[in-house]
Amino acid sequence: MKRATQQKQLIMGEITTFNSFFNAEELYHKVSKKNLKIGIATIYRFLNDLIKNGEIHSFQCNRRTLYSNSKKNHCHFICERCGEIKHIGLTKVDFLYQQIKEEICHVQIDVTGICKKCS
């Protein structure tokens, strides 16, 4: 049990060093520099537990899963012609919180259209 707690503290400490989004591999690399005994499977299990507890949020980004403990929204503009994906930094998502009566944890928005290059 003690080892599990130490592992948890180590992984949690590394998560807080990310200022923005990160993926499981990036976290694994950081953690392995400190403790080689933690495998990638443990990292994934840990991340899933944190998501369930609402301590971190997960987003789908270009078919990959990203995580964040600070960011609560992730927005893409996807061009229908060239497929380019742009990240949009949304600051005001209050309208969603007003319109959705459920308890919102985090927000992911994919907006589709035609980019400046293609139009």
Query: Residue 43 Cβ, how far from Zn ion at the closest point, in Å?
Result: 18
Query: Residue 58 Cβ, how far from Zn ion at the closest point, in Å?
Result: 7
The count of C-alpha atoms lying within 13 angstroms of the C-alpha of 28, restricted to the half-sphere facing its C-beta, is 11
Nearer to Zn ion, 9 or 70 (CB): 70
Distance in angstroms (rounded) separating the CA atoms of residues 104 and 98: 10
Positions touching Zn ion (CB under 5 A) are 57, 61, 79, 81-82, 105-106, 115, 118
Q: How far is CA 103 from CA 7, 65, 69, 72, in A?
A: 31, 22, 18, 13
Query: Residue 57 Cβ, how far from Zn ion at the closest point, in Å?
Result: 3
Nearer to Zn ion, 4 or 96 (CB): 96
Token couple for 36: 């080689």
